[in-house]
Each structure stands twice: as C-alpha cells, then as structure tokens.
Amino acid sequence: MLLIERYLLRQFVLSVAAVAAILLMVGLGGLLVDLMSDIARGQVPAALLLSQLGLRSLQVLPLLMPLALFVGLLLAVGHLYGDSEMAVLSSVGLGPQKLWRPLLMVTLPVAVIVALSSLWLAPAGARIARDMIETANRSFLVAGLEAGRFLELPGRAGILYVGELSSDGTRFRQMFVQTERDGRLDVITARDGEIFFDEETGRFLRLRDGFRVEGTPAAKDFRLMRFDQNELRIPDREVEAEAEEIEARRTRELLAQTDAAARAELHWRIATPLLTLALGFLAMPLGRGEPRQARYGRILAALLIYINAMALLMLGKGWLATGALPAWAGLWWLLLPMALLAGWLFRTDGRLRRPRPVPA
C-alpha cells in the first residue's frame, strides 16, 4: 500500500469512527427514553434497565452504521477537496478512481459489521431480551421486590409488600396486596404463598391462610372474606407483537419458512449490508466540491439520501409482508439501481470530457 493510501485510510477511519460515536450516543439516548417508558408502564422490570439497553442497542446498529459510514466518508472527502489535497493527488495521477483501495478498506469492514448485526447479533439480542423479561416474570427478586419494602405493581395496578422472601424469589411470607380499579378497593393479606407462571394466562400469586377486603370507599360498602388458598393474577407485560416475534427469529429459521412476513424480514436483513456498500462508494463522487465551498452542506444531502433509501426499504418490507410485492422481487428493485448508480458515478468521477471537434 502506498504511503498516501495509508494516510487516506487513516483519515477515512477517524472520520467514520467520530460520526459513528456521535450517532451511537444519540441512538442510545432515544433507546433509553423508550426503555424508561416501558418500565413506567410495567412492561420491563427496572432491574433490567442496563441489560435491556445494551441488548436493544444491537438492534439499531444496522440502521446507524450505514449512515455513519456515509456521512463520515463525505466529510473526509470534502476535507480533501476543501484543502486542495485532491487537486494535488489528481495532478500526480491519483484521481478519485485510484483511491478505491482505502475506500474499500473502510467500507467493507463496516458492511461486515452491519451484516453480522443484521443477520445474527440483532435477532440474538431480541431473543435474549425477551427471555430475560420472561424470567423476571417468574421471580420477585429480578422484578425489584425486596423484603420489607413496598413495590408498585406493573402498570400502576396496585401496591405489593412481603415480609420475607426465599433465595430464588418465588416463595414469600407475610404478604400484603392492595389494588384499585374503577373506584373499587381490594386489599389482600396472606400468611405465606408463592409465585408461579402459566404459559397461557401469565403470572399468578398463590396465597394461603389470609383475608380479603373489597368494596367502594365512597359508599362505605365493604366485604370481608377469609380463605385457606387464593390465586391472584399479576398484570403482565403486553402481548408480544407479531413483528417483534419475527425480528427475534434466527436467520436460518427464516430461510426455511415461506410465509410473506418471514421472507420480508429475510430480505430486510440482507438489504442493509448491501446498502452500506452502495453508500460507501457513493460518498466519493458526492463529496466533490470547490476549495472554498461550504463543507457541511453536503451532510444535508447525505441525510436526505439515507432517509429516502431507508424509507423505501421499509416500504418495500411492508409490501413484501402484506403480499403486495412478490417474494422473488425482494428489495432488489432498490438495491440494484443504487449499486449501478454508485458504480457509474465513482467510475466517471473527475473524468474530463473530450473536446468537441471544431469545424474548419
């Protein structure tokens, strides 16, 4: 590798890494807001905040890394043109077409990272996150309950208190539960009990040797009951949407399935790394500019190109899932034109037109 190619490679890597770090910080901020909203609604235990944040961050890599590569390369190439370095390189025979090697050495690793994230890491992270929440539904300890401390039930459904907890968080003593719905108060106490999980109906508390008081405080109408054993359902997280369930499937499982939703998800996972390659080679011709031209105006153009490309990919994924687009078409109707356009612009970038013959 030439010395100038090593210099360009270093500039490209630093620029892409800086943009990627900024985008990841912004993406983590958005994920944190959504996660806090899920915790407030009782869908995710508060004790799983950091683990869920890390697992969900894997799912945004296929969306953020192509944009980081595109914007980073645009800034680096624009810097070369703005400081007249590209003019000097062209004068010694190193035009834009000769710089394919450092460009490929940056674009290809990012595309590999996007491919690994899209095909393997993101589905695995979705499955692990789902399993952790399901495990938390079976234990008070993971859900954040401590002996001798009042805990608000998921979805603000009531107050829960236990005096003692077992080591695995499934058995307890001295239980107190207060719930309120439509102005009606329900208070339950029990000497001991346990939590168990039913695959069809959700989480339940099995209470033994206790009392139950229910009624309307405004009407002063209460009823007292004593029981030997009582089962109380705990509000669970919302039912997992079909789209979330498909996103958590393994790629090899999608390959063996023929339904439209599975095919749409498979085409989406394949499309993101290919889009990354197209955006990487599209950055070189789009980064061309004059020495005194504003360098950051091209960022707006990069965002518009990226947003439109992603919007078309998501639209195509929806068409595939609903059957409006045949499975054999996939998302190639967008990827192939983008790849051809990027290759043509990269090949013709910086070439001088042939002079027109002047008639005698």
Q: Say what the pLDDT of residue 301 is.
A: 80
The mean of the pLDDT values for the chain is: 81
Sheet containing 202-216: which strands, arranged edge to edge?
151-152, 158-165, 171-181, 184-198, 202-216, 221-234
Q: Say what the pLDDT of residue 154 is.
A: 56
Q: Where are the alpha helices (DSSP H) in 250-296?
A: 251-256, 260-286
301 vs 311: CA distance, rounded Å: 15
DSSP state of 121: I
- The predicted-structure confidence for 33-89, as pLDDT tens digits, reads as follows 888 887 766 667 777 788 888 888 988 999 999 999 999 998 888 887 777 777 677
Q: Give this prediction's pTM.
A: 0.73
Radius of gyration of the chain (CA): 29
Q: What is the mean pLDDT of each run of 10 residues along the chain (360 residues)?
A: 80 92 91 83 74 89 92 86 72 71 91 94 89 69 62 66 76 82 82 75 78 80 84 59 74 87 90 93 80 67 88 91 86 91 79 57
Which three-class secondary structure state does DSSP give residue 228?
Answer: strand
User: Is 151 in contact with 179 (CB distance < 8 Å)?
Assistant: no
Q: Which residues pair with 207 in a beta bridge?
A: 193, 230
- Of the candidates 256, 294, 263, the one whose C-alpha atom is nearest the C-alpha of residue 74 is 294
